[in-house]
Amino acid sequence: MKKISFLAVAAIVMMGVAFAASCDSKKSIGSVKIKNDADSVCFIIGQSHGLQIRKGFEEQVKSWPLEGNIEAFIAGFIYGLQNPDDTLLLGKDMQAAGEYVNGIFMNAQEKISEAGRAEATKFLAENATKSGVITTQSGLQYKVVTEGKGSKPTETDVVRVNYIGTELDGTEFDSSEKHGGPAEFPVGGVIAGWTEGLKLMPVGSKYIFWVPSSLAYDAAGPNHPHFGKLLVFEVELLEILK
């Protein structure tokens, strides 16, 4: 949560004065009566913090492997404000609560990953039978869209590429365009599926890679958003940078 600067606080104070001057001197909001300027200022600052915290929660929960409950979050937040002496979290100390949360997240992510692997296995088996699709010994699948005539990079080279990365359902999660144009990568410093695939490509080529999770982000652990997922990349090799 961002700190409110001195100027921001001053602005909020002025807003509070205007707010108090324009409303009933005993205005009630919920169970609280706004009786004076100080009450108005405190309410406005509290509300501004609440808006920021809620926005932060809503952004954070997008990456969770389970659905978040904003009402439970608000209830816990209010309980913490109103009961500062109760330092237990649903009866658990901080360490035990952290272990509980991590365990729930990891179990939920593992279930998602198991379903993703099953879907990926079925897809790869069907995809392998399609025209132009080649399966390597590691399980990487690729298809040549355009075959270039340049040299092939080695693992110690740095390459310049355009790429688009999608999930199996077609959802785009990354691209060189999102980062301002062609990207530069060390061939040996990317996921295993990319390292293997790039070494197959002559400069000037465009390939499609279907990268199993074992060659993608499984090594990053269950907390990675692409753990257990088959990923699809369209890669154009523009140049080998010596």
Average pLDDT of 170-185?
95
Question: If DSSP codes are grouped into helix, strand and coil, which group holds residue 59?
Answer: helix
Confidence band of 73 (pLDDT split at 50, 70, 90): very high
Which residue did the predictor score with more confidence, 23 or 224? 224
How far are the Cα atoms of 10, 49, 68, 77, 114 from residue 52, in angstroms, in the given order? Answer: 18, 5, 17, 13, 35
Which residue did the predictor score with more confidence, 23 or 208? 208
Q: Is the pLDDT of residue 13 over 50?
A: no
List the beta strands (DSSP E) in 65-217.
133-135, 141-146, 158-167, 172-175, 183-186, 206-211
Average pLDDT of 39-60?
93
Q: What is the predicted pLDDT for the residue at 26?
A: 59
Cross-strand pairs, 236: 162, 206
Q: Is the pLDDT of residue 56 over 90?
A: yes
Give percent helix, percent strand, percent coil of the chain, each to the nearest 5.
Answer: 45, 20, 35
Return the residue matching tokens 């399609």.
Answer: 130
Residue of 146, 145, 141 lying closest to 210 (CA atoms): 141
Confidence band of 114 (pLDDT split at 50, 70, 90): confident
Whether 112 contacts 67, CB under 8 Å: no
- Give the tens place of pLDDT for each residue, 129-149: 999 999 999 999 999 999 999
Q: Is the pLDDT of residue 107 over 60?
A: yes
Q: Is the pLDDT of residue 79 over 90?
A: yes
Within 8 A by CB and 6+ apart from 166, the residues are: 172, 173, 231, 232, 233
Average pLDDT of 97-121?
88
Domains recognised in the chain with CATH numbers: 6-63 (no CATH), 116-241 (3.10.50.40)
Whether 127 contacts 133, CB under 8 Å: yes
